[in-house]
A and B are shown apart, each in its own frame.
Chain A
């Protein structure tokens, strides 16, 4: 483990990606103490206040606090800086949860398809069908059907990602099941679930981690897209996509409402993608050599 960790730490993309993510995690955890106010509080005295202005903010309970509007306020008088900082929480949560859901469901299905011939044909035809539906469109349709809450958004974004994970795990299992150590385990009458969990899964971990990172990046993007279209989480929850969706109407006068959340969204996705590229280089050199499709 130690040499892997060392080569990870010396990889530029991994260091940059992990560094940016660490900062974002701190922002998400510490957002109440970073000079923010309640992200839902509306102060009618500050409707469309410009970025950088200093003033008093009237809180919901009637108290007023001195406050700097780093990114201005929106057309309801809500502080954009506070909303963007709190929005970090939703983006990171959706990114991580989606990756975990897609990896675990796709992982189980892929192992079943790769190990049990009988299930292979049916499962893979279902996956072919899922892959024929453009991902964002499928996510939109699923959100429409399930309603918009955090868990339904996670499920809606994860389902279109499952076929790719299933295919990856299936192909790994198909090669791994021919390995001598699996044959040895079979000869010792090891139960099939134990073979799958103890012998095959650990050897499939590296490509799965890499794949999971890329899924997290695209999940953050997709969540922002769904919210931006007005189909994601309810508008009262501050997410980057929701802030941009609300800023859309008066974009030409107040472009900041759309552009400030983007200043957080783009580096977040970039950092996760770079982390994924780096992890792939270090953990899964064969995949990197194939060009990583």
Chain B
């Protein structure tokens, strides 16, 4: 187990190194002098020189990369040009709204998608199955901001059941507790969950329906187990690995969706930090956020890999 963990962590090194190279190169892709781009249109030559010095742009590219990587490894993501604050501090301030949105969406999506997919597989060809396959295609075709605005229109503007936009903190001095926090997040959660539900439910259906054709299902039914037990203990348990895998892969989708959802609902999280950073050409923030999300995504998928050991005792590393 420990050896397996070490192996997997070592395997992450080349992936994370490549991510670092790509993130570093993104700024270098900018046509023209990055220092002039960052300084903006009203900058003097001295400003540009100062920024060039600050960024170490006078040194060779390889040296620049090694210095930058050294800082990143120590948790120093540089300074925001625009807000003049450490990028790590900016990310830390924005984590709570983003995590509330993403984690809540994930829980909601799994709670809806897994039972939905299981029942669709159990009654294959039934009305729920047809509904699900239609929903799966639609879920991938409707962008999250369209769902978001339709939900705002129905539930916040017309019915006025829920607040239109904004965010209330769960922790800290300005917190008003769980109730207002959750009320603000109901619509964002539902908007973002749609595509995730479509993804997970489709895989759950395929995986459970395959498990249902196995001999042990016939045996379980023959020995008189209830259908509920057959589905939960035998079919779903054996279908778990692909489901957990797709939940992990879907995190990439979720992260992209978070950026859009935060803009629709005016949630001050990492997504709106990213959008503002791009509008201000604040490259250290862009690089920091991309690195942060990529590392998060890779680590979540490491957890998914580790969970196989527990979900499927046949897997031995």
A residues with CB within 8 A of B: 125-126, 128-130, 132-138, 140-147, 217, 221, 224-225, 228-231, 244, 251-252, 255, 258-259, 262, 265-266, 269-270, 273-274, 277, 291
Closest chain A residue to B150, Cβ basis: A259
The chain B residues found within 8 Å of chain A, CB to CB, are 14-19, 21-23, 26-27, 29-31, 137-138, 140-143, 145-146, 149-150, 152-153, 157, 164, 203, 206, 251-253, 255-257, 259-260, 263, 274-275, 277-279, 281, 283, 286-287, 289-290, 293-294, 297-298
Q: How far is the CA of A270 from the CA of B142 in the complex (A)?
A: 8
Query: How many A-B contacts at CB < 8 Å in the complex?
Result: 150
- B143 in complex: contacting residue of A132, A134, A224, CB < 8 Å: A224
Contact status B260-A228, CB under 8 Å: yes
Say whether A142 contacts B26, CB under 8 Å: yes
A15 to B257, CA, bound (A): 31
Q: Give the shortest distance, in Å, between A28 (CB) and chain B (any CB).
A: 19
What is the CB-to-nearest-CB distance from A155 to chain B, in angstroms, rounded to a whole number?
A: 10
Complex Cα distance, B24 from A44, in Å, reads 47
Quick check: A231 and B19 within 8 Å, CB to CB? no
Q: What chain B residues lie within 8 Å of A265 (beta carbons)?
A: 143, 146
Say whether B141 contacts A125, CB under 8 Å.
no
**Do A144 and B286 touch across chains, with their CB atoms under 8 A apart?**
yes
Interface of A (DSSP majority class): helix
What are 30 contact pairs spanning A and B, CB under 8 A? A125-B14, A130-B22, A132-B18, A132-B19, A133-B290, A134-B255, A136-B256, A136-B260, A137-B259, A137-B294, A140-B278, A141-B23, A141-B287, A142-B29, A144-B283, A147-B31, A225-B256, A228-B143, A228-B260, A228-B263, A229-B259, A231-B275, A251-B152, A252-B157, A262-B150, A266-B143, A269-B142, A270-B137, A273-B141, A291-B203
Q: How far is the CB of A143 from chain B (nearest CB, A)?
A: 7
Neighbouring A residues of B259 by C-beta, 8 Å? 136-137, 140, 229
Q: Which of A129, A134, A274 contacts B256 (CB 8 A)?
A: A134
Question: Do A138 and B290 form a contact, CB below 8 Å, given A129-B21, A229-B275?
Answer: yes
Known A-B contacts: A141-B26, A255-B157. Give 11 more (CB < 8 A).
A128-B18, A133-B22, A136-B255, A140-B275, A143-B278, A144-B278, A217-B140, A221-B141, A225-B143, A251-B152, A258-B149
